[in-house]
Amino acid sequence: MKYAALLCFALALVVVACAGPQQGTPSLPLGSERSLAMRHNAFPTPIQHVVIIFQENRTPDYLFHFMLQYGANIATTATDSQGDIVQLKPISLKAAYDLGHGHGSFVDDCDLQSGTCQMNGFDKNLPLKYHLRPFGYAPQTEIQPYLDMATQYVFADNMFQTNEAGSFPAHQYIMSGDSSAEPTTADNVDSDPYISTNGHKTSAGCDSPPLAVVNTIDPVTGSPGPSPFPCFERPSLTDYLDMHGVSWKYYQNGLGPGLWHAPDAIHHIRYGPDYIHVITPPQTILSDVTSGKLPGMSWVMPADGYHSDHSGNKSAAGPSWVAAVVNAIGQSKYWNNTAILLTWDDWGGWYDHVPPQLFNSYELGFRVPLVVISPYAKMGGSREGYISHVQYEFGSLLAFAEETFGIKKGVLNSTDVRANDLSDAFNFSQSPRPFATISAPPFVPGQGSLRDEEDP
């Protein structure tokens, strides 16, 4: 039982905490160069830093339409809920509307028939005059920085969001490999938090209001589970990073509750010594890079809603933020030993044509983009860039980090067990590739909306 395993895990943490550091073991500051040098020989690859950049709510068909010419699996047409063929058209990142991307929206968009998503329900509940809204792609002028990253490094066109819902559970998956609502239940969270007495949306995490709850789903049967308070006690990859002496930071906008604030919803992180590794604002990573304080493992959330790629924020500034992070690392001493994994937390309601493999009633969700940026990113023959057609999911990023830092793959006993480990995206026998600066509009923090409460 997962709960029994969780109890063993909790007891192990208590023993480690009570014992303190082993006698004779040096205490090294977070992100120190000496610490990295001491651990280097244990690493199976040249990678010493893994950076996950987690943006918001887009699909490959929407965001990487122009990768079609490089051999990526990208659609130019769709089938709507009436069975009509629809031509995908340019729709700006600045479009003023948001699309449904909760679990109910997944069920509609998927249109499950005979065990396979038909992928023709994306407009199912939209008024007729708005039914073309999901069927678009970003203009090239708005996403050129992303396109440059994808064409120079590795673009994975078979990467899937692990869960079939929106941001709050997706951010739990990117740290724990699942969104189980333990210890209340082993069922997975499948909604954003809301107030139990009136159904109004609210903030997420252990700092949520007292009446906040979340819905859960039994991933095997698809039946609804209990609705607990959104504060959980389950293992996270950070626990095993700690055990292996790997420094980590989670860069987020503000402290306290939030849909993108995954550590706030894990009780032993929120109320334990590891909460000091939750860093705000996210652009602190830029100064950490320049000052030599980049940790071994980083999770990087959007600088704010304006720079998140989230629909409805009337902004096309997401690529500027991502390019700022990528350029900072690429132009630093960290480039030759870093892997940057850029992905998006859910599909955002935007059309995608590839049906997900359904492992159970809650996994997998729809495709999301994945770009792997590293001096060891595989090259495509005579081309700089490479298209990986291997199936990945959020657990793949965790599996890659586990193996990079000498942690047993699948240690979380969740989606990191089954997930491919990104090995198709790397060639560690090649000489480190020099970094070429990504051209993008300047990143200006503090612009526009800071909204991260979303997911209709």
pLDDT at position 209 is 96
Residue whose token pair is 């998140």: 308
More confident residue, 9 or 154: 154
Cis peptide before 183 (omega within 30 of 0): yes
First vs last C-alpha separation in the chain: 33
Q: Which residues contact 237 (CB under 8 A, 6 or more apart)?
A: 175, 176, 177, 297, 398, 401, 402, 412
> How much of the chain exceeds pLDDT 90, in percent?
85
> 3-class DSSP state for residue 100?
coil
CA-to-CA distance for 145 and 186, rounded, in angstroms?
41
**pLDDT tier at 153 (50, 70, 90 boundaries)?**
very high
What pLDDT, on a 0 to 100 scale, did the predictor assign at position 359? 96
For 260-282, the pLDDT digits (tens) are 999 999 999 999 999 999 999 99
pLDDT at 448: 55
pLDDT tens for each residue of 297-355: 999 999 999 999 999 999 999 999 999 999 999 999 999 999 999 999 999 999 999 99
Look at strands 85-87 and 77-79 and give their pairing: antiparallel
What distance in Å separates the CA atoms of residue 42 and residue 39, rounded to the nearest whole number? 6
Q: What is the pLDDT of residue 57?
A: 95
pLDDT on residue 447: 62
Indicate if the pLDDT at residue 41 is higher than 50. no
Residue with tokens 């109004």: 200
pLDDT digits (tens, 9 = 90+) for 179-188: 999 999 999 9
Answer yes or no: are the C-beta atoms of 233 and 10 closer than 8 Å. yes
pLDDT at 400 over 90: yes
Residue 27 has pLDDT above 60, yes or no: no
Q: Strands of 323-429 (E only): list them.
A: 338-344, 370-373, 386-388, 392-393
Q: Say whether pLDDT at 95 is over 80.
A: yes
**Is residue 369 reached through a cis peptide bond, with omega within 30 degrees of 0 on the bond before it?**
no
Domains annotated on the chain, with CATH: 29-73+140-178+232-425 (3.40.720.10)
**What secondary structure does DSSP assign to 152-201, as a single string?**
HSEEETTEE-SBSS-HHHHHHHHHHSS-B-TTT-SSEE-S--EETTT--B
Helix axes 140-152, 318-330, angle to 10 degrees: 30
DSSP state of 390: S
Q: Which residue has the tokens 């109890």?
A: 7
pLDDT at residue 446, as a whole number: 76
DSSP structural state of residue 90 = E
State the pLDDT confidence band at 384, using cuts at 50, 70 and 90: confident
d(CA 422, CA 393): 10
0.95 surpassed by pTM: no
pLDDT at residue 38, as a whole number: 35
The Cα–Cα gap between 169 and 376 comes to: 31
Kindly report the number of other CB atoms within 10 A of residue 83's CB atom: 7
* Cis peptide bond upstream of 93, omega within 30: no
| Beta pairing, strands 248-251 & 297-300 | parallel
Q: Which amino acid is at 242?
A: D
CA-CA distances (angstroms) from residue 378 to 372, 374, 383, 428, 434? 9, 9, 10, 8, 13
pLDDT over threshold 90, residue 44: no
- Among 40-54, 125-139, 213-227, 254-268, the least confident range: 40-54
Residue 292 CA to residue 84 CA, distance in Å, equals 55
Checking if the pLDDT of 16 tops 70, the result is no
Whether 212 contacts 264, CB under 8 Å: no
**To the nearest whole percent, how much of the chain has pLDDT over 70?**
88
Q: Where are the beta strands (DSSP E) in 185-247?
A: 188-189, 194-195, 212-213, 216-217
CA-nearest of 212, 188, 185 to 198 is 212
Average pLDDT score over residue span 106-116: 94
- Compute CA 274 distance to the chain's CA centroid, rounded to the nearest angstrom: 20
Tens of pLDDT, residue by residue over 356-375, are 999 999 999 999 999 999 99
29: exposed, middle or buried (Cβ count in 10 Å: 0-12, 13-18, 19+): exposed
Question: pLDDT band at residue 149, thresholds of 50, 70 and 90?
Answer: very high
pLDDT average, residue stretch 65-80: 97
For all residues of the chain together, what is the average pLDDT?
89
Residue 256 has pLDDT above 80, yes or no: yes
Q: Helix H segments across 331-366?
A: none
CA contacts within 13 A on the Cβ side of 16: 13
CB within 8 Å of 202: residues ≥ 6 apart: 193, 194, 195, 208, 209, 212
CB 143 within 8 A of CB 92: no
